[in-house]
Amino acid sequence: MSTPFPFTAVVGQDDLRLALLLNAVSPAVGGVLVRGEKGTAKSTAVRALSALMPEVDVVAGCRFSCAPAAPDPACPDGPHEVGPGVQRPARMVELPVGASEDRLVGALDIERALAEGVKAFEPGLLADAHRGILYVDEVNLLHDHLVDLLLDAAAMGASYVEREGVSVRHAARFLLVGTMNPEEGELRPQLLDRFGLTVEVAASREPDQRVEVVRRRLAYDDDPDGFAGRWADKETAVRARIVAARKLLPSVVLGDGPLRQIAATCAAFEVDGMRADIVMARTATTLAAWAGRTEVLAEDVRQAALLALPHRRRRNPFDAPGLDEDKLDETLEEFGGGDGSNGSGGSDSSDGSDDSGDEDPDPDGPDGGGGQPPQEGPDGGNDDGSGESSGEVPAQGEPSESGQAPSPGAGEQAPVRAAEPFRTKVLSVPGLGEGAAGRRSRARTEHGRTTGARRPQGALTKLHLAATVQAAAPHQRARGRSGPGLVVRRDDLRQATREGREGNLVLFVVDASGSMAARQRMSAVKGAVLSLLLDAYQRRDKVGLVTFRGSTGEVALPPTSSVDAAAVRLESLPTGGRTPLAAGLLRAHDVLRVERLRDPARRALVVLVTDGRATGGPEPVALAGRAARLFAADGVASVVVDCESGPVRLGLAGQLAGELGGTAVTLDELRADSIAGLVRDVQGNSRRAA
């Protein structure tokens, strides 16, 4: 195993290092979710932490890492006698995105269990991670049912495997760390809430810090052992501090004052449930132990709030993460516990950022090779550097402050804000798919209701007991069985087929031409698309955005799991010009063709948002009809959101839906509470579903 990059040599990322250290002291904090862009030392810091973890005593030969002083009475390898054990380093186990449920929780040999009555169990990654670190890179890309299993085990401290009446239970207490890039899609809010702490990381914008990052990385790559040796003293000091904080933790007192501040803070930020209060209390207590104190102060409560609340207060996937620190300080001051701390100023003296040896670099301290630790000193400060600029766009045709009407460009009109989103009726793809797990359309899945049985293809995972018995029963006399009991052979085993829900590719094709440019109408259209994006987020879909206006269609957003990115593109969408409907449809058809090559199992749903008009070029209506029939020929499910308004309607969107082989709905019918609405799924091309 290669020498890991030293934890104390990581430059910056104060919140990330602090959150990891707090969980190393007390896994009861609940783990860390690290959100950030690529190349921000997320994985490096997690792997470096494993080298800081104190060694653990284990029962010799136990595959489940039982503690020799208090072995698990239900250990599958037990029972174990209380006595001396052996020491080994704490493990860091990585869970790959493509892991199966069997790989995560372990697998029972069902054939031996049925034929021989032997409970043979092969431990999974949860058993390997017991009393260590379980690291999930790109946790947002992990299947939801695996995330559920993972978080349930982390919350209960045990893993349960039950199949066909055979059950195994073993201890599974570990430090859970997940990393993700928000651009690749979000976790569901209920899963976000299960992570104790969260931190946002970003690359520093300070040239000196960036220089030091490069210097240290190059020095490590040239001589990993030599580089690690130069940081060994600081690593040893932090390891000793973790051990000391663990011993001190049971003695830390959480007084009524800080506890009241915790409750008031959670109430002020309107978090759901009581998990936030509990996590904040555990985090504040651990912060005090990390600082070497036996009493929780307001500064501990403040730091705990900054780590435990940002991911819990979000109500909308398009809201910016973070916490209003002014509001936090006001709440802490109002409900101050009289401990002498004003709760403001964000003192970091208690978080160990200047004691654990993980300071920001002093550019003059290390040598040119980046191999020497910097001199002791304060951190260089937050490198967040985030900032936003916002301004109101004048209404279409209205004068700006200079007194002249805006002119964004020839044939182009200024973007308008989206109307308030609403809950939409469910749109789904007909038939039965086999795509990635989600919540939109029917599909054959590993989880869901049992619909039948088949011969296993590969390893047997979900036994269909009745079908297995039915297959074995006719052969009992030939197998020498005349009395009670059943002889089951491998050929008799039947795999259960299950039906659940899949996520789809929802491709929005939005008309941004001049016929849609009436300010009120475009605002309503954007509000409808935003509502559908929210629905796609909740149903675990991929989304893409194609727009058309002027003379061409444009891919505003290639298919992605990040609905946030789609919402941003939608908000800045300009309008104006002619309506090249055929060009927009052809561009969408190309996008789907490429996506079928990348992910053949994921079915598509095209949502065309238009009033149905086609202008520009020779025979625009006929061209649009021919382009629409390409979708029908490919069997692509589609729905046309009819944006036509006014007392006289031409019904062009309905005709276009017929060419697509889909259905048309109005903006009003799209609402979940609409009486007229969508009582039906997308029924276009129902013959293909059969």
d(CA 145, CA 151): 10
Residues 6+ apart with CB under 8 A from 554: 546, 547, 548, 587
What is d(CA 624, CA 615) in angstroms, rounded to the nearest whole number?
A: 10
Residue 538 near residue 188 (C-beta atoms within 8 A): yes
Query: How many Å apart are CA 3 and CA 24, to the nearest integer?
Result: 20
The number of helix segments (H) and strand segments (E) in the chain equals 21, 20
Cα 371 from Cα 341, distance rounded (Å): 39
* Alpha helices, DSSP H, located in 635-665: 652-660
Token duo for residue 154: 């982390």
Structural tokens at position 525: 């259209």
Would you call 315 exposed, middle or buried from its count of C-beta atoms within 10 A (0-12, 13-18, 19+)?
A: exposed
Q: Which two tokens mark 151?
A: 């978080």
Residue 366, preceding peptide bond in cis (omega within 30° of 0): no
Of these residues, 239, 275, 481, 629, which one is catalytic? Answer: 275
Q: How many residues would you count in the chain?
A: 690
Q: Which of 284, 303, 279, 306 is nearest to 294 (CA)?
A: 284
Closest to 135 in 3D by CA, of 214, 50, 212: 50
| DSSP per-residue string spanning 394-452 | PPTT---TTSS----BTTBB---PPPPP-PBPP---SS-B--SEEEEEEEEESSSEEEE
Cα–Cα distances in angstroms (integers) from residue 686 to residues 152, 588, 689, in the given order: 40, 21, 5
Q: Interhelix angle for 275-290 vs 298-308, to 10°?
A: 130
| Alpha helix ranges (H) inside 273-377 | 275-290, 298-308, 325-334
What is the residue-wise DSSP string for 342-358? -S-S---TTTTTTTSS-
Is residue 275 annotated as part of the catalytic site, yes or no?
yes
What gap in Å lies between CA 623 and CA 600, rounded to an integer?
A: 28
What is the 8-class DSSP label of residue 295? B
CA atoms within 13 A on the CB side of 449: 2
User: What residues contact residue 93 under an 8 Å CB cut-off, 6+ apart?
Assistant: 125, 128, 129, 132, 133, 134, 135, 174
Whether the CB-CB separation of 317 and 250 falls below 8 Å is answered with no
Rg of the chain on CA atoms, in Å: 30
C-alpha distances out from residue 575 to 225, 513, 517, Å: 59, 5, 6
Catalytic residues: 275
